[in-house]
Amino acid sequence: MVNIVVFLVWCFTIGAVLGSTYSTLVYRLHTHQSVISRSKCDNCNHVIAFYELVPIVSYTLLRGRCRYCNTTIENTTLKYEIVCACITLGIGLICLRVL
Ligand SMILES: [Zn+2]
């Protein structure tokens, strides 16, 4: 039972990371930014620390605002993270033959 829970949490986490990466790539390619540069706030250009880039968790803990300038962060990336996490969770459930 523990192995199944760990597997499903892993599926959800991998999906959130993939969604975050996909969202970031789409945003940067559309705005002609480098895809290998560090993430930074669009308003104050402050580089975002690695612990502020945890998918879903960081947005929730920061309440959708930049830690440095308190500007509202668009929730587009959060939506991608949640949708991709749910998709991979569904795939995980299918692999376990739960669905
Ligand atoms: Zn900022």
Distance from the alpha carbon of residue 83 to the mean position of ligand 1, in angstroms: 25
d(CA 96, CA 63): 34
Q: What is the pLDDT of residue 16?
A: 97
Distance from the alpha carbon of residue 12 to the mean position of ligand 1, in angstroms: 28
> For the chain, first and last CA: distance in Å?
16
Structural contact between residues 45 and 85, judged by C-beta atoms closer than 8 angstroms:
no
Distance from the alpha carbon of residue 66 to the mean position of ligand 1, in angstroms: 5
Distance from the alpha carbon of residue 6 to the mean position of ligand 1, in angstroms: 35
Distance from the alpha carbon of residue 50 to the mean position of ligand 1, in angstroms: 15
Distance from the alpha carbon of residue 20 to the mean position of ligand 1, in angstroms: 19
Distance from the alpha carbon of residue 19 to the mean position of ligand 1, in angstroms: 22
- In this prediction the pTM is 0.87
Residues contacting residue 96 through CB under 8 Å, at least 6 positions apart: 4, 7, 8
Ranges of the chain with pLDDT below 50: none
Distance from the alpha carbon of residue 63 to the mean position of ligand 1, in angstroms: 13
Q: What is the pLDDT of residue 99?
A: 61
Query: Closest Cα to residue 43, out of 66, 61, 27, 60?
Result: 66
Q: What is the pLDDT of residue 59?
A: 94
Q: What is the pLDDT of residue 98?
A: 74
Q: What is the pLDDT of residue 1?
A: 81
Give the helix ranges, DSSP H, for 54-96: 57-61, 76-95
